[in-house]
């Protein structure tokens, strides 16, 4: 007779569990290396960071076991209650959490400190999956879309109020899930455009074209807006005539304006672009009315929204962001070096990784990390410890393990028979992808330093428990699927 427990163990995706265990092991050795002091090799001492991390690991194993023993229907049944409970905890955290490095995101309970924002991720994933699994749900209903956006943005706003911007940005990963479930591609395209407009606009705002008073950043973004409008007309209408008209007028007028500004009298070419944008938007509205197609009008609104975003992002960067946040972005974009300030962490991290070479210096032999040159080297910047001690080969192995985990999770998500399981699975994938890309990117100086952990590697119980809960709930949902299929 096969017991319920035996059926669960047989139904588990052991490939994912094995990769999880290997990453956990690598992570612990990395914490040992990052927190090690010369002459002190007692990693089993629970007063050290390595010892404390071992306790968190053992607890996470127990937590994973409990999650697997619960019925998979429990997660669907109580998804909203879990979401509400974590939302209340986030609100409480704003008022009772002590100030820790400028943020109020940690709840201190005796010797233990927990960060509710780490646990709100799986709660949001469950609530989103349950809502999208409802019978009446459709991506074509604006009320449904607004509700999904609310479920994502509400905890995000609460975390921002805790002054934990990095953790809040993780919630933008959920929009990848919406795209998988049928969200129009133009929404994702708009997000990509927003990032490009922001980076180009800020980075080249003070750089001018030749001898003209035209800022390259503003000119480039407005040019992209005009070209995007032409491209969207072709994608959605497949008509060459309006595309040709937009391109010929835009390129022709800008060339004439440039030669006049360069050889006759200098003036800002952006003024000409404003006129061109108004002309193109008017032309699109005319086409929408004459041909009675809403697509032209929406493309025109996209152009107007893009222009509005360009100038609002400049205000946001200069007036809303804190000075230290501005400097971090400027360092990443190459506008400032600040090697003794905001760029210090990244610079020391790159030195540590570069010093590892091909094969690394060996376990506990990293000089940069042992001498504590890299701040937060066992939390947000722990990947530099991997690079210094294990070298290029070790770093590549870690990234390949994460790649295997993500690809496996995608495969498991795709085989889910219910929308609930598929949406939750892609939520897990999106969160892991975001953490991996941003954390490794900021250690290498490719993304701004926003302070988010590397899954299973960074020191801390909240991070480890949060990722374990996120992963093992999905494993239990998938095991329930296999069990139901075997019953037929």
Say if residue 4's pLDDT is above 70.
no
Contacts of 59 (CB under 8 A, 6+ apart): 461, 465
Task: Write phi, then psi, for 208 (nearest 5 degrees).
Answer: -115, 155
Confirm whether pTM is higher than 0.85.
no
Residue 484's pLDDT is 58
State how beta strands 107-109 and 112-114 pair: antiparallel
**C-alpha to C-alpha distances, 307 to 274, 311, 312, 314, 325, nearest whole angstrom:** 9, 7, 9, 11, 24
Highest-pLDDT range among 275-284, 287-296, 374-383: 275-284
Give pLDDT tens digits for 212-241: 788 888 889 999 999 999 999 888 888 888
The answer to whether 483 and 8 have CB atoms below 8 angstroms apart is yes
Say how far apart CA 464 and CA 192 lie, in whole Å. Answer: 30
Residue labelled with tokens 């296999």: 482
Give pLDDT tens digits for 241-286: 888 999 999 999 999 988 888 888 888 888 999 999 999 999 999 9
The answer to whether 379 and 52 have CB atoms below 8 angstroms apart is no
**Reported confidence tier of residue 339, pLDDT bands at 50, 70, 90:** low
Say how far apart CA 253 and CA 438 lie, in whole Å. Answer: 41
Residue 488's pLDDT is 46
Question: What letter does residue 164 receive in the DSSP assignment?
Answer: -
Least confident of 5-9, 63-67, 98-102, 121-125: 5-9
Percentage of the chain surpassing pLDDT 70? 91
Residues in the chain: 488
The answer to whether 27 and 460 have CB atoms below 8 angstroms apart is no
Average pLDDT over residues 286-315: 87
The mean predicted confidence, pLDDT, of the chain is 85
Please give the angle made by the CA atoms of 444, 218 and 207, to the nearest 5 degrees.
Answer: 65
Residue labelled with tokens 């040019």: 223
Average pLDDT over residues 354-373: 78
More confident residue, 5 or 324: 324
Average pLDDT over residues 195-217: 81
Say if residue 485's pLDDT is above 60.
no
In 3D, which of 7, 125, 78 has the Cα closest to residue 409? 125
Residue 371's pLDDT is 66
Average pLDDT over residues 10-32: 92
Say if residue 40's pLDDT is above 70.
no
Residue 39's pLDDT is 60
Least confident of 88-92, 125-129, 180-184: 180-184
Task: Write phi, then psi, for 60 (nearest 5 degrees).
Answer: -70, -35
Q: Which residues are registered as beta bridge partners of 107?
A: 114
More confident residue, 387 or 38: 387
Say how far apart CA 13 and CA 16 lie, in whole Å. Answer: 6
More confident residue, 192 or 474: 474
């Amino acid at each position: 007779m096969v017991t319920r427990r035996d059926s669960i163990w047989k139904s588990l995706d052991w490939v994912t569990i094995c990769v999880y265990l290997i990453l956990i092991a690598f992570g612990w050795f990395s914490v040992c290396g990052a927190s090690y002091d010369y002459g002190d090799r007692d990693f089993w001492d629970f007063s050290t960071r390595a010892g404390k991390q071992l306790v968190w690991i053992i607890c996470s194993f127990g937590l994973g076991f409990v999650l697997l023993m619960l019925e998979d229907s429990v997660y669907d049944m109580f998804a909203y209650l879990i979401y509400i409970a974590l939302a209340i905890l986030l609100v409480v955290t704003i008022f009772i959490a002590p100030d820790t490095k400028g943020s109020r995101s940690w709840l201190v309970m005796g010797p233990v400190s927990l960060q509710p924002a780490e646990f709100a991720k799986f709660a949001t994933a469950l609530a989103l999956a349950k809502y999208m699994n409802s019978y009446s749900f459709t991506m074509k209903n604006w009320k449904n879309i607004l509700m999904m956006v609310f479920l994502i943005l509400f905890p995000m706003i609460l975390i921002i109020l805790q002054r934990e911007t990095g953790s809040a940005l993780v919630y933008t990963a959920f929009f990848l899930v919406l795209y998988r479930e049928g969200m129009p591609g133009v929404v994702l395209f708009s997000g990509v455009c927003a990032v490009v407009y922001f980076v180009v606009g800020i980075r080249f705002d003070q750089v001018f074209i030749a001898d003209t008073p035209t800022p390259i950043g503003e000119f480039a973004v407005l040019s992209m807006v005009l070209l995007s409008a032409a491209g969207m007309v072709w994608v959605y209408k497949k008509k060459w005539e309006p595309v040709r008209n937009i391109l010929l007028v835009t390129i022709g007028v800008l060339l004439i304006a440039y030669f006049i500004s360069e050889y006759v009298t200098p003036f800002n070419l952006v003024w000409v672009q404003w006129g061109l944008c108004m002309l193109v938007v008017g032309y699109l509205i005319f086409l929408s009315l004459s041909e009675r197609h809403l697509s032209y009008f929406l493309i025109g609104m996209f152009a107007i929204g893009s222009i509005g975003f360009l100038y609002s992002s400049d205000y946001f960067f200069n007036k809303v962001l804190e000075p230290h946040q501005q400097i971090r972005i400027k360092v990443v974009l190459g506008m400032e070096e600040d090697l003794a300030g905001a760029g210090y962490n990244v610079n020391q991290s790159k030195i540590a990784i570069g010093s590892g070479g091909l094969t690394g210096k060996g376990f506990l032999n990293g000089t940069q990390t042992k001498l504590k040159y890299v701040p937060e080297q066992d939390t947000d910047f722990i990947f530099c410890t991997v690079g210094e001690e294990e070298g290029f080969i070790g770093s590549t192995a870690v990234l390949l393990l994460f790649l295997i985990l993500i690809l496996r999770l995608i495969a498991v998500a795709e085989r889910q028979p219910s929308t609930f399981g598929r949406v939750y699975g892609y939520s897990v994938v999106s969160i892991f992808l975001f953490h991996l890309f941003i954390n490794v990117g900021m250690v290498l100086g490719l993304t701004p330093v926003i302070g988010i952990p590397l899954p299973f590697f960074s020191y801390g119980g909240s991070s480890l428990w949060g990722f374990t809960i996120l992963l093992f709930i999905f494993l239990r949902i998938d095991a329930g699927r296999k069990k139901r299929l075997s019953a037929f």
